[in-house]
Structure 1
């Protein structure tokens, strides 16, 4: 009888996930094989498994169910688990799920509900309307549509494209003129994105009440029966609160200063959101806001949150990548709540859009005692855009210190060191 020891990854198997799996393999004395399935239209789709650091590579037309079945069927009895990292890969995950029917996976419906903001809000409201803000969904900028928004949601409000990544084209509107202009701009950009990605769906925008309060997020593991294992909370600082005319997560910190009772209340609301979407056999990334009226859900994703692998490892010695696999294998995740220290992840954007002409402080940051990692996404000469216009950050910095005051001091130093200059035009 063939051994069930293949862990199937969607599109890519990160080096961290493969490393965690190898450590676990040595610990329990069981060998695992790593497989990746990706579209053969992908520019790297024709690479060999060894080039990608995996044991098996499946490459086929993922828009053709028969091709997926043909690729996976010979290995069906050898698959142990399937996992997916990254919001951009969830559409592929949905196509693969029907072809691994005997593995522990979320349903294709729950993946859709948790990646499309309109479905998500509707499901939240049907389950418990107290956990979600007032909202409406629009597909045009007609007068009756604007009136519906004013009557149903009111100002200030937030616009979010239904099926795009979390910060992409997210905009705050304080009055009617701003709403009309931003809607027109957003629909124009969404249509272009959809055309570029061969998506034939009608662009829709979620318009919801803007909530006031402190923002947090928490990752959790949901087993096949809906039991939830929560990781520690992470505090968000938005770019808007730091003076950017943009809506993105500028700073993430853990541990937080939340009291136990408040954490329990937040977990209860997060649990309702997870169950509202019927999510199972998955990691869940839940974003929340703590308002005067209690905890509310911003959104939820069927995936690991940004920076969570590094942050949970540094502050709690939690192997988030491994736990994401374990929960899909039907095993209990390993979660430590012991605090090793304090972690901060900073995402730097340019204050003004334009061509990057200068990026200073990158080398200096690496001399800080709290420094752990830095990733650069822009080179001098490249264009910098705000998140709401589809842009990505210039660089990310991860800091860690066993002492909170020393971390806070280094955060301040890092913020002063980084200097990003742009110039209008190409």
Structure 2
């Protein structure tokens, strides 16, 4: 039996797995994520994550010996590395955690890789920096925060006027979005080359020697742009991949180079890649499993991603061999413009689709919602899965063509 620390926030499937497999856990909960910080709950210690000192103060009150620490949220990757180093248990090196959560550091390390695996980039501190990069690189150009997830404030810019407009809008929103989603990080923008190609991702588990064990199953993405939106959110994540086997092998090879370039150990890895005409190029690597991957790989492949993450944290071998290859998709629904949430059209029909596995409307009535590029998150999530490919594709098409997020 092992005792596992869950850093920041928990979700039910993680704690269920821990208990089911005879382990125990303590949630080290971010004080900003609880309404009752002073209330005593079993298996919980409340901590201030704004500094290492305040976090360690809470950790040092533990009356049990921790064997591992895990997190499933991007904003807690670096604090988890601090904790594991402090406790001298299997850990993602702090330098690797910093690289995995800061795209400027990440891109700098990719530049030193033995093969070209990422786009040209620059850090942005002023409008002058924006103009300087634009003078030496062709449009489109991508402007994005250095250390936020979920495509927040990411914009594609097809002209200098559009780039400068989005730069001004992003700088205006940057502090408030960081305060909400990454309070312990310094707000920062970067600019990079636009990569023309299809978007994909693959997950991996990295052992104590830095050797990545990469899933065979590559996930395909569609963005908002792909379905006619003026927004860069990930609309769909789909298994199995439509890429050729040769392209999937090249993508996994590129992912392995990127993981090693960041110095990752004892950690999951989520690698987002664009398949260009020149080959795969890494968008980013996260020291966590990708969004929805626990459900996706369970439904499509009968792979237990949570078990692999826990075993990786404990320094054990993992099993990630697929037992089946069904279809699975996660769709995130956004409005076309910002406003007060009213409804989503045709949800009653969606509830009866043969492939439906999960449907959750995240937006509350009259809540202000909007585009991902303006710092908003999805209004709803739909998960589909079926061994019947024809029905599966039909159900995706129905949602894409008939479900609109209505705002006023």
TM-score by length of 1: 0.89
Farther-moved stretch of structure 1 (339-348 vs 127-136): 127-136
CA contact (8 A) 1:136 1:152 kept: no
Deviations 1:200-242 (A, max 9, x none): 9764321111111111000100011112111211000111111
1:334 and 1:19 map into 2 onto residues whose CA distance is 19
Deviations 1:284-333 (A, max 9, x none): 01000111101110111101111111100001111111111011111111
1:212 and 1:184 map into 2 onto residues whose CA distance is 25
Matched ranges for 1:283-302 at <5 A = 283-302=268-287
CA contact (8 A) 1:364 1:417 kept: no
Deviations 1:35-81 (A, max 9, x none): 1112345434334334xxxxx22223344545544543465872121
Q: Name the Cα RMSD after superposition.
A: 2.2
The counterpart of 2:13, out of the listed 13, 16, 19, is 16
Structure 1 residues 176, 330: CA separation in 2 closer, same or farther (over 3 Å shift)?
A: same
Structure 1 residues 330, 395: CA separation in 2 closer, same or farther (over 3 Å shift)?
A: same
Q: Does 1:33 align with 2:24?
A: yes
CA contact (8 A) 1:353 1:385 kept: yes
1:59 and 1:82 map into 2 onto residues whose CA distance is 15
Unaligned runs of 5+ in 1: 26-30, 51-55
Deviations 1:90-123 (A, max 9, x none): 243244233221x111011111111111111111
Alignment match, 1:108? 94
Aligned residues: 406
Structure 1 residues 6, 351: CA separation in 2 closer, same or farther (over 3 Å shift)?
A: same
CA contact (8 A) 1:62 1:95 kept: no
Secondary structure of 1:369's partner?
A: coil
Alignment match, 1:53? none
Alignment match, 2:59? 72
2:182 and 2:371 map into 1 onto residues whose CA distance is 24
CA contact (8 A) 1:221 1:327 kept: yes
Q: Does 1:7 align with 2:4?
A: yes
CA contact (8 A) 2:50 2:183 kept: no
Secondary structure of 2:116's partner?
A: helix
Structure 1 residues 187, 6: CA separation in 2 closer, same or farther (over 3 Å shift)?
A: same
Alignment match, 1:89? 76
The counterpart of 2:256, out of the listed 271, 281, 294, is 271
Structure 1 residues 201, 409: CA separation in 2 closer, same or farther (over 3 Å shift)?
A: closer
Structure 1 residues 366, 14: CA separation in 2 closer, same or farther (over 3 Å shift)?
A: same
Secondary structure of 1:318's partner?
A: coil
Unaligned runs of 5+ in 2: none
Deviations 1:348-369 (A, max 9, x none): 1112221122323223211111
TM-superposed CA distance for 1:373, in Å, is 0.2
2:254 and 2:243 map into 1 onto residues whose CA distance is 15
TM-score by length of 2: 0.93
